[in-house]
């Protein structure tokens, strides 16, 4: 496997560092304190997992890494997806900010076992995302059909059509309890709604643009949760 170019490595690390700064500022700014053990524990799990996946892609799939660093509302080609991405990004910030405000004002208090369970959910969500990346080198951060792209129906894609989104939903749902908050789950609702809107729009796009995708949707019935939906 060819090593990724230096600029791609720099872009990936810069993006990860920028996200860490934003998350840190939101977390500790909203909490009004750095004395927030659950937050520090969450940051280790979240960014440790993110860094591990980034390093894996650098070594084993730099082409996918290049597809992943081009992300966010401005990277999308269609206005509808720009709107969806903007909503999802704002909701993600809220998922972090509301638990931190909860920490400051004491609306809800979760015990250590539920905090640990939240961190486990975050970690397992990242594992599902990683397995999706390992199986599908075309898992771009924007909705598009790349050159030589084909339908992937193996690994986690044989179970549900959107395993990456399933993993993302699990890890984001785990953030509020990981931060010791029950109230934070309220902010998860708009995030989940944006992801569901995104995947439905993505399915319509891929059915029209990617040969074999319509047959794949008939073969793999469930979108996110086996035997449910």
Sequential pLDDT tens for the chain (229 residues):
555 678 888 888 999 999 999 999 999 999 999 999 999 999 999 999 999 999 999 999 888 888 888 766 676 778 888 899 999 999 999 999 999 999 999 999 899 999 999 999 999 999 999 999 999 988 877 777 877 889 999 999 999 999 999 999 999 999 999 999 999 999 999 999 999 999 999 999 999 999 999 999 999 999 999 999 9
Strands (E), the chain: none
Give the tens place of pLDDT for each residue, 3-15: 567 888 888 899 9
Alpha-carbon span 167 to 136, nearest angstrom: 14
Phi, psi of 50 (to 5 degrees): -60, -45
Contacts of residue 204, defined as CB under 8 A and 6 or more positions apart, other chains included, come to none
Please check whether residue 174 is in contact with residue 114, taking contact to mean a CB–CB distance below 8 angstroms: no
Domain 6-219, CATH: 1.20.120.1630
Closest CA to 185 of 172, 197, 196: 172
């Amino acid at each position: 496997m060819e090593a990724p170019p230096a600029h791609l490595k720099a872009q990936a690390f810069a993006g990860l560092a920028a996200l860490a700064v934003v998350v840190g500022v939101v977390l500790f700014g909203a909490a009004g304190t750095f004395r927030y053990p659950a937050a520090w524990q969450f940051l280790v799990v979240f960014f440790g997992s993110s860094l591990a996946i980034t390093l894996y892609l650098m070594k084993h799939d730099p082409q996918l890494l290049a597809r992943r660093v081009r992300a966010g509302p401005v990277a999308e080609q269609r206005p509808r997806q720009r709107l969806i991405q903007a909503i999802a990004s704002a909701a993600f910030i809220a998922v972090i900010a509301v638990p931190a405000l909860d920490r400051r004002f004491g609306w809800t208090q979760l015990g250590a076992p539920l905090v640990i369970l939240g961190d486990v959910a975050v970690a397992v969500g990242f594992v599902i995302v990683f397995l999706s990346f390992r199986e599908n080198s075309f898992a771009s951060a924007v909705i598009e059909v790349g050159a030589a792209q084909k339908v992937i129906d193996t690994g986690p894609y044989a179970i549900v059509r959107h395993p990456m989104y399933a993993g993302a939903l699990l890890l984001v749902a785990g953030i509020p309890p990981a931060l010791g908050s029950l109230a934070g789950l309220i902010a998860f609702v708009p995030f989940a709604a944006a992801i569901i809107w995104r995947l439905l729009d993505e399915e319509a796009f891929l059915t029209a643009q990617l040969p074999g995708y319509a047959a794949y949707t008939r073969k793999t019935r469930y979108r996110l949760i086996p035997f449910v939906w």
